[in-house]
Chains A and B, each alone.
Chain A
Amino acid sequence: MTIKRILFVDDDALVLAGLRNVLYRERSRWEMVFALGGEAALVELARGSFDVVVSDMRMPGIDGLTLLEHVRTMSPTTARIMLSGSADQHEVDRATAAVDILLGKPCDARTLRETLERFTART
């Protein structure tokens, strides 16, 4: 079994830390990279390829939607997951079209883990 690479993007370090914590047990099967914001994510994406990208929607600078659009262009096989706490229906509609799945914040660890399992198994 190859180790899958997953990139987590959020402008909030606490969210990233929480995700790192909650998925700590999966470190043996998933190589997880945490990027603070869209720009950092682009740096990581340039450095290596990922099987799954999980991004927040609203971020200063490059927002989640732009980032995932970029991912789709650069690496069509990469699964794109949006993890958003937004309640704006308009934003949600746009996101739904651009991503493979939209997860609402707060998303509990089990749902997140199961979703990631589904998408890592696919690739």
Chain B
Amino acid sequence: MRPVNPPLKSCIGRSLRRADSEAEPSEPSTPRREVIFREMTDRYQRETDRLFGKLLVAQWLFAVVLALVISPWSYTGEARELHVHVKVALGFGALMNALPLTLIWLRPGWWGTRHAIAVVQMMWSAMLIMISGGRIETHFHIFASLAFLAIYRDWKILLTATLVVSIDHLARGLWWPESVYGVANPEWWRFLEHASWIACEDAVLIYACIRGVKDVQRAATREARLERTNTIVERKVADRTVALQLAVERYRELVEGSAAIPFELEVRTLRIHYIAPQAARLFDCSPNELTDNLFASSLHPDDEPLVRSAMQAFARGEPKHDLIEFRMTTSAGRHLHARTMVSSCLGGRIRGIILDVTRQKKLESDLQQAQKLESVGRLAAGVAHEINTPVQFVNDSVQFVRDSMTDLMGIVQKQQAVVAEVLAANPSAHVARAASDAVATADLPYLSEEIPRALERAVHGLDRVAVIVRSMKVFAHPGGELAEVDLNTAIASTLTVARHEYRYVADVETSFGDVPRIVGYAGELNQVILNVLINAAHAIGDRVNGSSERGLITVSTARDGDAVLVSISDTGGGIPDHVRERVFDPFFTTKQVGRGTGQGLAIARAVIVEKHHGTLTFESKVGVGTTFHIRIPIDSRVSQTEHAA
């Protein structure tokens, strides 16, 4: 058969696998890669914009300084003024820089911004060439600027820049060649030479730009993949965390919801190091009242040495001492049977579980009781027959002797008269003398008085044997049919029958409730009530013995759910603690020999518990009295079916 609950480990394993299948690996989505690429490019180009911002300002300052150093003044006669170059550098430079700087400030990263920067940067080259009077070395500024612009990794701005340079060279080469080439009449191929240099650099830089963009794209892809991996890992971690929490929770539920209570104790002192919170139920306290000495203080004093020695033996490495049973009393005064199963011992601390086995113990004892009764029943059937036969003929013989004795004594008396007559006539008649002497020796008056009494005692004794055997038969054969029984009537008639048992020692008070008829075995129920009544009468009799006191027997009936409760109380001496557990044992009696057979309550229990599926319990206080509670289901067949179901 498949176990209802799979083992915990496999549960967790399965839930983890499920988490795995949910986190299916997938390629990084293309849009995400592009988003990252765009972000990276944008960030980079903004940075580059700022870099160019600084560069433009620096160039402007450099141009002004250069203009001031090379040709600060222009003279018109005596009057001198700042050379036009200085003015151009100062004014036109500021004017040129205005647009790109504004764009860098307002629209950083925008494509228009960097094209504007490219245009202005190249214009700076043109201006510096112009200011330097077309020095060929100043043309290197163009190459440096192009290289700088390539930082953008946007080859399009290189084209824009090239276009600006070309227009500038072409225009100025035509109308003002000195400002470009430093000579008034440059060779016709001069422009082409410059242009080819530029083209060469452009080719290299464009290639570098494209390479750079590809690098960024690869970086973006890596980034996207990393992101995805992180997401997966995070999700996995989250899943695992949830699974772990579930597992922990399940463990907790298992451990803390279980009737088996895990604990850790100090072997030497029996102090609790750990005990699961459900122990509160066992100890009748709240979980925060589980103090470390609770175990030791709840132990039954008689069992404490046993628990200690067993735990110490286990701690010494004797594994057969792993199962320890003992009694406990909770702070609420509840008595219970507990069992510990210790599993490990480390550093003087013993670990295991503790179980409340009170119910199990009760069932075991009930079962034992039932088995005892069953064997007694089997025995009784055989014994009853074996005893009845000799009782029959012993009884017959005794009665015969008793009856015959009457005849015999009559004969003896008549013969006595004859002997007396003979002796009166002839005192020396020695046969008559001998007869007279024999009568005197045997003490005839004593015999004539005691022999009938002795026989009477024998008959009485045999009666008693017959009673015992008859009561044993109740075990042996149930007899009778299930029928509706009016318990009130049954009790009333039993009280009448048992009157001679209690009339001299007790009064009886009855309190009959309005109870329904029950389905049961009338004869046996009568027997039960009779037995309990006789016990009550005996208990009172023992107490009031020899005094003029009288006790009280109270009999009441009441409905109790789907059952009828019969309570019979006496004001006898109560049942002493040490015999309580044996009250229902067959052949157990505290009564004097001859007064009780020790079967009354055993029979009562068999009848109520086994045949009527009811309960027979008692409460007793020494010196106050005892109350027996007989609880009989209204229809035991119904409750029997329920038991079976």
The answer to whether B380 and A19 have CB atoms under 8 Å apart is no
**What number of residue pairs across chains A and B have CB atoms under 8 A from each other?**
76
Q: Which residue of B lies closest to A85 (CB)?
A: B388
Find chain A residues with CB under 8 A from B404 CB: 24
* Contacting residue for B381 out of A15, A17, A87, A104, CB 8 A: A87
Q: Mark B386-398, 1 if CB is under 8 A from A, else 0.
A: 0111111111110
Instruction: Say whether B384 faces chain A, with CB atoms less than 8 Å apart.
Output: yes
A25 at interface (Cβ–Cβ under 8 A)?
yes
Q: Which of A87, A104, A109 contacts B476 (CB 8 A)?
A: A87
- The answer to whether B389 touches A87 (Cβ under 8 A) is no
Chain B residues positioned under 8 Å from A22 (CB to CB) = 396-397, 399-400, 403
B341 at the interface (CB under 8 A from A): no
Contact flags (1/0) for A69-112 with B, using CB distance below 8 Å? 00000000000000101111100100000000000111111000
Q: Does A4 belong to the interface (CB within 8 Å)?
A: no
* Closest Cβ neighbor of B465 among chain A residues: A106
Say whether A17 contacts B393, CB under 8 Å. Answer: yes
**Mask of B166-193 contacts with A, CB within 8 angstroms, 1/0:** 0000000000000000000000000000
Name the one of A87, A92, A106 contacting B392, with C-beta atoms under 8 angstroms: A106
A47 to B559, CA, bound (A): 66
Known: A87-B380, A89-B477. A15 touches B392 (CB 8 A): yes
Query: Does A85 contact B397, Cβ atoms closer than 8 Å?
Result: no
B462 part of interface (Cβ distance < 8 Å): yes
A68 to B387, CA, bound (A): 24
For window 360-398 of B, CB contacts with A under 8 Å fall at 380-381, 384-385, 387-397
Q: Is the CB–CB distance between B392 and A105 below 8 Å?
A: yes
A105 & B389 in contact (Cβ 8 Å cutoff): yes
Partner of A18 from the list B387, B394, B479 (CB cut-off 8 Å) is B394
For A92, list chain B residues within 8 Å (CB).
477
Whether, in the assembled complex, A46 has its beta carbon less than 8 Å from a beta carbon of chain B, the answer is no
Interface string of B478-493 (1 = CB under 8 A from A): 1100000000000000
Chain B contacts for A1, CB-based, 8 A: none
What residues on B are CB-neighbors of A87 within 8 Å? 380-381, 384-385, 472-473, 476-477
Residues of A within 8 Å of B458, CB to CB, are none
Interface size grouping (class) on chain A: 20 to 34
Query: A106 contacts B391, CB within 8 Å?
Result: yes
Q: Does any Cβ of A come within 8 Å of B219's Cβ? A: no
Q: A84 to B404, alpha carbons, bound, how many Å?
A: 26
Shortest CB distance A119–B (Å)? 19
Minimum CB–CB distance for B541 against chain A, Å: 28
Q: Which of B388, B403, B462, B472 contacts A104 (CB 8 A)?
A: B388
B508 within 8 A of A: no
A14 within 8 A of B: yes
Name the residue on A nearest B381 (C-beta).
A87
Closest residue to A19 on the B side, CB-wise? Answer: B396
Give Cα A14 to B395, complex, Å: 11
Distance between Cα atoms of A22 and B397 in the complex (Å): 7
Q: Taking the complex as formed, is A12 at the interface, i.e. its CB lies under 8 A from any CB of chain B?
A: yes
Determine if A66 is an interface residue (Cβ-Cβ < 8 Å).
Answer: no
B473 & A18 in contact (Cβ 8 Å cutoff): no
Let me know if B466 is at the binding interface, CB within 8 A.
yes
A37 CB to nearest chain B CB (Å): 14
Contact B403 A106 (CB under 8 A): no
Partner of B395, one of A17, A18, A58: A18
Min CB gap B466→A, angstroms:
5
* A115 interface hit (Cβ, 8 Å): no
Q: For A18, what are the chain B residues with a Cβ–Cβ distance below 8 Å?
A: 392-397, 400
Cα A22 to Cα B385 with chains together (Å)? 21
Whole-angstrom CA separation of A82 from B68 in the bound complex: 158
Assuming the A-B contacts A22-B400, A25-B403, A87-B381, are A108 and B477 also in contact, with contact meaning beta carbons closer than 8 angstroms in the complex?
A: no
Residue in B389, B399, B472, B476 whose CB lies within 8 Å of A108: B399
A17 CA to B400 CA in the complex, in Å? Answer: 10
Supposing A24-B400, A109-B399 touch, asked if A12 and B388 sit within 8 A by C-beta, the answer is no
Sample (14) of A-B pairs whose CB atoms are under 8 Å apart: A15-B392, A18-B396, A21-B396, A21-B397, A22-B399, A25-B403, A58-B385, A87-B380, A87-B384, A87-B472, A88-B476, A92-B477, A105-B391, A107-B392
Closest 8 CB pairs of A and B: A85-B388, A18-B396, A18-B393, A21-B400, A89-B477, A105-B388, A87-B384, A22-B396
